[in-house]
Every structure is written in C-alpha cells, then in structure tokens.
C-alpha cells in the first residue's frame, strides 16, 4: 500500500468516526432536542415579517387585512399545537389593529382590539396597563425593529 493511500484511508476513518460521534452526540444531547422542540412551537418568522411589513409600509386597508389574516393563522396554530405560546405576537397584532382603528377614527373597534390584545399579551409585572400605555409600548417596539 502506498503512502498516499494510507493517508486517504486514515482521513476517511477520521471523518467517519467524527461524523458518527457527532450524530450520536446530537441524538443523545438533550439541549439539541429542546432546541428543536422550541423551534417547532415558535411562530414562523415569515408570518411576523409579513404582517409587520404590511402594517409599516402599505395602506391601512391592506395592513388591516394582513394583520387580521395573520392573527387568524397564529390562533389556528395555537389551537393545533397548544404548546405554542404566540401570546406576544398575537397581543402585538391586535394592538397594531387598535392603532389602525384609531387612525381610522373608530374608537369602538380600537377598544375591542385592545381587549383582545390584553387577553393574549399580559403585563409581566401583573399590573393593569392602560390603553394608551399599551399602544405606546407597541409603538416603541416598532421604533426598535429594523425591517
């Protein structure tokens, strides 16, 4: 056997052992399983990007339609897999719908959307948050998001 063949076989052996070790490590390591489970329960980024970009850059009617359809989709995802926790996303969607209703001078619909937003998006401190504070928080989030 030539010296080059020995190096090729040794390299193949090392690559095979490393690949097998990594595959077994991935299968037995619980952090990777939890990571996979968490990505299965998250709202896809395409959904959040879609409604946000429609809200930010399209006319109010298209934005409202995009937000409403995205809210329906996320709610259906939650019903299909109760382990998903889209509370923040849904609360934000409904708060944006309330802001659009305010811009359209429809305070009744805005109140209804804010009630829905509160049902999905709770204050981490447990205290009640006013309508204006909730809308201000969502606007502050919008200012920080770079799309």
**Are 56 and 12 members of one domain?**
no
The full DSSP string for 105-144 is: T-HHHHHHHHHHHHHHS--TT-----HHHHHHHHHHHHHH
This prediction has a pTM of 0.65
Q: How confident is the model at residue 66 (pLDDT cuts 50, 70, 90)?
A: confident
Whether 92 and 20 map to the same domain: the answer is no
Do 71 and 52 contact (CB within 8 A), yes or no? no
Closest to 93 (Cα-Cα) out of 8, 105, 77, 28: 77
DSSP state of 147: -
Q: Please indicate, yes or no, whether residues 132 and 61 belong to a single structural domain of this protein.
A: yes
Q: Do 71 and 8 belong together in one domain? A: no
Kindly report the length of the chain: 147
Q: Are 76 and 134 in the same domain?
A: yes
Residues 21-56: tens digit of each pLDDT: 666 655 555 555 555 554 555 566 777 777 778 888
Q: Give the per-residue pLDDT at 146.
A: 61
Please indicate, yes or no, whether residues 126 and 92 belong to a single structural domain of this protein. yes
Q: Are residues 26 and 66 in the same domain?
A: no
Q: What is the pLDDT of residue 32?
A: 53
Do 118 and 60 share a structural domain? Answer: yes
Which pLDDT band, with edges at 50, 70 and 90, does 85 fall under? Answer: low
Residue 22 and residue 68 in one domain? no
pLDDT tens string 91-107 = 888 999 999 999 889 99
Tally of domains in the chain: 2
Would you say residue 114 has pLDDT above 70? yes
Lowest mean pLDDT among 17-26, 88-97, 132-141: 17-26
> Which pLDDT belongs to residue 101?
92
The answer to whether residues 71 and 130 belong to one domain is yes
Domain around 10: 3-39
In this structure, the number of other CB atoms found within 10 A of the CB of residue 88 comes to: 14
Q: How confident is the model at residue 119 (pLDDT cuts 50, 70, 90)?
A: confident
Per-residue pLDDT band for 108 (boundaries 50, 70, 90) equals very high
């Amino acid at each position: 056997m030539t010296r080059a063949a020995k190096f090729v076989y040794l390299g193949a052996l090392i690559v095979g052992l490393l690949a097998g070790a990594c595959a077994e490590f991935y299968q037995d390591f619980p952090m990777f399983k939890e990571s996979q489970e968490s990505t299965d329960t998250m709202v896809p980024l395409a959904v959040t990007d879609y409604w946000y970009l429609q809200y930010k850059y399209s006319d109010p009617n298209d934005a409202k339609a995009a937000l409403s359809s995205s809210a329906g989709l996320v709610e259906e995802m939650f019903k299909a897999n109760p382990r998903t926790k889209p509370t923040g996303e849904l609360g934000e969607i409904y708060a944006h719908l309330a802001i659009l209703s305010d811009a359209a001078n429809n305070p009744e619909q805005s109140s209804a959307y804010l009630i829905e937003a509160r049902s999905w998006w709770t204050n981490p401190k447990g205290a009640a948050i006013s309508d204006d504070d909730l809308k201000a928080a969502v606007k502050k989030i919008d200012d920080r998001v770079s799309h």
